[in-house]
Structure 1
Amino acid sequence: MATNANKDQKRKTRAARRAAEEAAAKARAEQAAKERKQQTIIGAIVVAVVVVLVAVAGIAIWRSHVASQNSGDNLSVDQAYAKLQEVKDKPSTADEKGGILVSQSGVGKKVDGAPTVQVYMDFMCSGCGNFERASGETLEKMVLAGQINLELHPMSFGDTWSTDKYSTRAANMLLSITEQDQDPEHILGFIRNMYADDFQPAENSGVKTSDDQMKKQATKAGVSQKVADASVTDKYTKWLDAINVYNPKRSELFNVSGTYKGQMTTPTVLINGKYWDMNELTTAGMTSKEGLITSLGLTDAQVGVEGQMPSIGASGKPVSVTTGK
């Protein structure tokens, strides 16, 4: 009897042990599942945060170049404008505020009924390079199709980040080319080539770019060798210096949102004279190319199609990329 009782007790003990082990295993499995779920949620949050930060950083790179007022800090905008008008050597293609109009018809000839896109740029500015590489081809297609007038505003404060006055030299070349070559494809092709990812020097890199290298970018765009050779000049350096003082004082060019609200940065874009807030591209989840097409009132399929005109016309405000209004 005692033996059977002992056996029963042992079986009960083993059964209890197995039950305890199974319960413990189940608890461990449930805890592991809970931890995996938490890790998945945390991972998703981290990825989302990284995506947002990358998007914000991308726009920040575009907007990080605050235009310097140089020695004109104590001047009012009207005084800076007056100083600009006093410069002796001015590019003949530039208007009184420094804009060079390029259209389907050439230089200085506006297409009636087409909106005007103004781009303030510096050849050394990495953000300007990003903007050109993302949107330049689209802008060029619209110019050649007569869908927009493009107003170029070269600046040269980016010499701060170079050791060979790259911004000033490149801007002088562009100004000179617009005087000697009226072909919009050549002018816009030169800009595209200067901003090419494998050509534009990085800021503070110490890389020096020769005149011959820059002239090659012009001839690759269709500019004649004669015009390219003549474009190597410092004729408009004083005018550019005055532009660098004047533009940063113009309130219509100030950022309306973001870190640099109330300051001018490059690239700056105006559409029909109205500030185009590139910070909204992040909110809308759009590239600058997509945003420009939307803000002009076009569809992607209409870009570069002659006769398909932007809905905002020559005086309408840009369509908001966030509200569609």
Structure 2
Amino acid sequence: MAAVRKSTNWFAIGVTAAVLVVVLIVAGVVWFANSQATSPGTLPESSAVNTETGAIAVGSGDKTVDTYIDFMCPVCNQFEQAYGPTLDQLVASDEITLNIHPISILDRASQGTEYSTRSASAAYCVAVDDAANVPAFVKALYAQQPSENTAGLDDATLASVAASVGASDAATSCISDGTYTRFVTAMTQNTPVQPGSGGIATPTIAVNGTVLSNQTDLTGDPQKDIVDRLNG
């Protein structure tokens, strides 16, 4: 008996190939969208900025204090008033490197203007322009800190504050362009979890890499909370 000759179903093969192409295109689009969502965007190129952690380094001491701050956070402002002078003194005496991490967790409290992200981005603009102006910029923002659930300072005001502490026109353009907003979002994810809380909060303070608890380790006494830990 002669064998039955099978014909090739080119239509089915064509449909399968077309479906495969569509699947590959969709997968590529999803991958690109996800990569864009998680990408840090433009990196702040400055010797003072660690682009892996987001830290803006102030000083050059061997010991470290890291502060994770949101410029709309009232408790961050309270921390600055209570602990800032001591940290400034430790930086001036070359005892510590102060690593400032501007982060964004309170955008929800600025009526849709994303003030936390914009102000943190502005801090990086100042750092790239001249990192020596960052401490003064931080203090100036706290001096004009908007209340939660208000719109916050607009970009023109942020630029004016930057100019008032010595930043150049380049920083003004950087602020108005929101150059580092995506970087802020990415670096916020690096904020260490508060001990015993299960989540991130501001301010978050780490002394020589050890994260402190806002509830039990920050008593309002800089000598006890910071200096003694540095020397312990």
The alpha-carbon deviation at position 171 of structure 1 amounts to 0.8
Question: What letter matches 1:269 in structure 2?
Answer: I
Match of 1:255 in 2: 194
Unpaired segments of 5 or more residues in structure 2?
Answer: 1-33
What are the superposed Cα offsets for residues 25-73 of structure 1, whole Å, 9 maximum, x if unpaired? xxxxxxxxxxxxxxxxxxxxxxxxxxxxxxxxxxxxxxxxxxxxxxxxx
Match of 2:110 in 1: 162
How far the C-alpha of 1:144 sits from its partner, in A, is 2.2
Identify the match of residue 102 of structure 1 among 42, 52, 58: 58
Determine helix, strand or coil for the equivalent of 1:118.
Answer: strand
Letter in 2 for 1:234: G
Give the superposition deviation at 1:288.
4.6
Query: In structure 2, how many angstroms separate the alpha carbons of the residues matched to 1:262 and 1:97?
Result: 20
Q: Quick check: 1:122–1:155 contact (8 Å CA) kept in 2?
A: yes
* CA distance in 1 between partners of 2:129 and 2:81 (Å): 25
CA distance in 1, matches of 2:56, 2:152: 27
What is the CA-CA distance between 1:207 and the residue it aligns to? 4.3
Question: Does the C-alpha gap of structure 1 residues 98 and 224 become closer, same or farther in structure 2, counting only changes over 3 Å?
Answer: closer
Match of 2:18 in 1: none
Instruction: Confirm or deny that 1:127 pairs with 2:72.
Output: no
Amino acid at match of 1:101: A
1:202 aligned onto 2:158: no
**Distance 1:247-1:133 versus aligned 2 partners, 3 A rule:** same
Given the two structures, how large is their TM-score scaled by the length of structure 1? 0.53
What is the match of residue 190 of structure 1?
Answer: 137
Corresponding position of 2:211: 275
Q: Distance in 2 between the 1:132 and 1:231 partners?
A: 26
Q: Which has the larger radius of gyration?
A: 1
Distance between the aligned counterparts of 1:156 and 1:195, measured in 2? 15
CA–CA separation in structure 1 for the residues paired with 2:64 and 2:108? 30
What corresponds to 1:144 in structure 2? 92
Alpha-carbon distance in structure 2 between the residues aligned to 1:228 and 1:170: 12
- Root-mean-square deviation (CA, aligned residues, Å) is 2.5
Quick one: which amino acid aligns to residue 209 of structure 1? L
> How many Å apart are 1:97 and its aligned residue?
2.1
* Structure 1 residues 120 and 288: alpha-carbon distance in aligned structure 2, compared to 1, 3 A threshold: farther
The answer to whether the aligner puts 1:88 opposite 2:41 as a matched pair is: yes
Q: Which amino acid aligns with 2:162?
A: A
Structure 1 pair 278–179 and aligned structure 2 pair: CA distance change class (3 A): same
* Runs of 4+ residues over 6 Å off in structure 1: none
CA contact (8 A) 2:63 2:96 kept: yes
Counterpart secondary structure, 2:69? strand
Q: In structure 1, what is the equivalent of residue 222 of structure 2?
A: 289
Mapped partners of 1:95, 1:288: distance in 2: 32
> Cα 1:207–1:88, aligned 2, differ >3 Å: closer, same or farther?
closer
How much does 1:228 deviate? 4.4
**CA separation of 1:136 and 1:264: change in aligned 2, threshold 3 A:** same
How many aligned residue pairs are there? 192
Q: Tell me, yes or no, if the aligned pair for 1:254 and 1:263 is still in contact at 8 Å.
A: yes
For residue 295 of structure 1, what is the amino acid of its counterpart?
R
Whether the 8 Å CA contact 2:75–2:202 is kept in 1: the answer is yes
1:138–1:289 CA contact under 8 A, matched in 2: yes
Mapped contact 1:177–1:227 kept (Cα < 8 A): no
Q: Distance in 2 between matches of 1:90 and 1:190?
A: 20
The answer to whether the 8 Å contact 1:133/1:195 transfers is: no
CA contact (8 A) 1:131 1:288 kept: no
Q: How do 1:209-228 residues align onto structure 2 when only pairs under 5 Å count?
A: 209-221=153-165, 223-228=166-171
Q: Work out the percentage of aligned pairs sharing the same amino acid.
A: 28
| Alignment deviations for residues 79-101 of structure 1 (CA, whole Å, 9 cap, x no partner) | x9xx75x4331222233122222
Aligned counterpart for 1:230 among listed residues 173, 177, 182? 173
- For 1:243, which of 152, 173, 187 is the aligned residue? 187
Distance 1:235 1:224 in 2: 16
Give yes or no for contact 2:126–2:134 (8 Å, CA) kept in 1.
yes
